[in-house]
C-alpha cells in the first residue's frame, strides 16, 4: 500500500531489494489493498505468496529488478553478506533501494545502512519498512523512530525524508512522526508497530556525527556547570535530612501513592499516547508528493 503510493509519484526504475521479496497480504486486507491501489483483486490473489518481481514490474513502474542476499535459497541476483561493505563496482547502480523487512536481520546495522546509501544512485528513493515495537524475537533488532530521525536528520530538516508508523491494530492508518528532538516517547500500545522511512535526498553523514537526538539537544559539559565539591557535600546533607523527615509527613504517603500510580501500565499508556498524538499526524494515506518535488 505504501509502496504503491510512493511509486505513483516516483517510479521504481532500476530497483534493488534487500533479500528477494515475496508478496504477502493478509486475507482480511485483500479487498482493501485492491481498492486502494487499483490492482485487480484477482491479480493479488493469484500472486499472493509468490515472489513479488512481476508485481513490481506491472504496477510499481520498475524497469529493472535486482536482489541482494547472503543465502541462495531464493536465488538473489547478487549474493553478498550485508554485514560487509558491498563492492564498489555496484555502487550507485540502483534508483530505488527497498529495505522491506531485511535490515533487522543483519547484525552490523551501521554497515547495512552504509551499503544502502552506497548502492543508491540518488535518482529515486530509499524505503525502509522495519519492525519497531512489540515484535521482540522477530529479528536481531526492533527500530526506534528516533534512530531514523538521528540518522536522516539532515534530510528530514530539508523536507527530503519522512518517518511513518503503522500499527497492527490500526492497519489502514499511517502516522507521520515528528517527535520533538529533546523528548523521549515510549510506544507500548496498539500492538505490533512497523516503521516506513522514505528518503529522497541523503546527505553523506559520518557515523561518528550521529548521536541520539535528545542527547544532542543537551548543553555540553563545561567548567561552569560542573558541581563543586562543597556543593556536593551540601546536597548530600540536604538529601539525608529530607530522607529522615519523609516518614514523618503525610506528604510522603501521598508521594508513594502517586509513584505507584505512575508505574502502572494504564498511566504509562495514557501519557505515551498523549505524547505520541501531540508529535505525530494520522494520515489515511501518506502524503509523499512533497518529498519528490
pLDDT digits (tens, 9 = 90+) for 25-83: 999 889 999 998 999 999 999 999 999 999 999 999 999 999 999 999 999 999 999 99
- The CATH code belonging to domain 2-215+280-292 is 3.40.50.150
Q: Residue 242: its pLDDT value, please?
A: 64
Question: What CA–CA distance (Å, rounded) separates 255 from 245?
Answer: 14
Grid cell of 180 as nine digits: 520533538
State pLDDT tens for residues 77-92. Answer: 999 999 999 999 999 9
State pLDDT tens for residues 128-169. Answer: 999 999 898 999 999 999 999 999 988 998 999 999 999 988
The CA angle 189-156-128, to the nearest 5 degrees, is: 60
Q: Give the count of alpha carbons within 13 A of 24, CB side only.
A: 5
Contact 44, 33 (CB under 8 A): yes
- CB under 8 Å to 281, separation ≥6 — which residues? 175, 176, 178
When pLDDT is cut at 50, 70 and 90, the band that residue 235 belongs to is: low
Q: Residue 191: its pLDDT value, please?
A: 87
Strand (E) or helix (H) holding 146: helix 145-151
Domain with CATH 3.40.50.150 in the chain: 2-215+280-292
The string of DSSP codes covering 7-23 is HHHS--EEEEEESPPBP
Question: What CA–CA distance (Å, rounded) separates 64 from 56?
Answer: 9
The string of DSSP codes covering 1-63 is -HHHHHHHHS--EEEEEESPPBP---GGGHHHHHHHH---HHHHHHHTTSBSHHHHHHHS-EE
Contact 186, 195 (CB under 8 A): no
Helix 250-263 and helix 265-278, axial crossing angle in degrees, nearest 10: 70
Region of poorest pLDDT, from 66-75, 108-117, 187-196, 245-254:
245-254
Contact 103, 130 (CB under 8 A): yes
Computed from CA positions of residues 163, 188, 28, 26, in that sequence, does the dihedral angle turn out positive or negative? positive
When pLDDT is cut at 50, 70 and 90, the band that residue 111 belongs to is: very high
Q: Is 189 exposed, middle or buried (0-12, 13-18, 19+ CB in 10 A)?
A: middle
Dihedrals phi, psi of 133, to nearest 5 degrees:
-160, 155
Question: What CA–CA distance (Å, rounded) separates 185 from 234?
Answer: 34
Quick one: how far is CA 194 from the chain centroid? 7
pLDDT over threshold 50, residue 224: no
Computed from CA positions of residues 17, 19, 22, 25, in that sequence, does the dihedral angle turn out positive or negative? negative
Q: Residue 225: its pLDDT value, please?
A: 47
Question: What CA–CA distance (Å, rounded) separates 133 from 184?
Answer: 15
Amino acid at each position: 500500500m505504501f509502496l504503491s503510493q510512493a511509486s505513483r509519484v516516483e517510479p521504481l526504475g532500476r530497483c534493488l531489494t534487500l533479500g528477494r521479496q515475496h508478496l504477502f497480504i493478509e486475507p482480511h486486507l485483500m479487498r482493501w489493498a485492491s481498492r486502494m491501489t487499483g490492482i485487480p483483486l484477482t491479480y493479488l490473489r493469484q500472486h499472493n505468496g509468490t515472489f513479488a518481481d512481476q508485481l513490481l514490474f506491472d504496477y510499481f513502474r520498475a524497469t529493472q529488478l535486482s536482489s541482494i542476499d547472503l543465502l541462495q535459497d531464493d536465488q538473489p541476483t547478487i549474493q553478498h553478506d550485508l554485514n560487509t561493505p558491498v563492492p564498489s563496482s555496484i555502487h550507485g547502480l540502483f534508483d530505488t533501494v527497498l529495505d522491506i523487512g531485511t535490515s533487522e536481520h543483519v547484525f552490523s546495522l551501521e554497515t547495512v545502512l552504509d551499503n544502502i546509501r552506497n548502492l543508491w544512485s540518488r535518482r529515486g528513493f530509499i524505503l525502509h519498512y522495519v519492525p519497531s515495537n512489540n515484535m521482540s524475537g522477530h529479528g536481531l533488532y526492533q527500530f526506534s523512530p528516533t534512530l531514523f530521525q538521528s540518522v536522516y536528520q539532515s534530510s528530514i530538516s530539508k523536507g527530503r525524508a519522512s518517518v511513518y508508523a503503522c500499527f497492527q491494530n490500526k492497519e489502514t492508518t499511517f502516522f507521520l512522526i515528528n517527535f520533538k528532538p529533546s523528548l523521549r516517547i515510549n510506544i507500548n500500545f496498539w500492538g505490533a508497530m512497523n516503521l516506513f522511512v522514505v528518503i529522497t535526498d541523503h546527505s553523506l553523514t559520518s557515523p561518528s556525527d550521529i548521536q541520539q537526538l535528545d542527547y544532542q539537544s543537551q548543553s555540553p559539559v563545561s567548567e561552569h556547570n560542573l558541581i563543586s565539591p562543597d556543593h556536593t557535600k551540601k546536597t548530600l546533607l540536604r538529601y539525608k535530612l529530607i530522607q529522615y523527615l519523609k516518614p514523618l509527613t503525610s506528604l510522603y504517603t501521598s508521594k508513594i501513592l502517586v509513584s505507584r500510580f505512575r508505574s502502572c501500565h494504564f498511566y504509562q499508556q495514557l501519557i505515551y499516547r498523549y505524547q505520541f498524538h501531540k508529535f505525530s499526524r494520522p494520515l489515511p494515506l501518506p502524503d509523499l508528493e512533497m518529498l519528490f518535488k
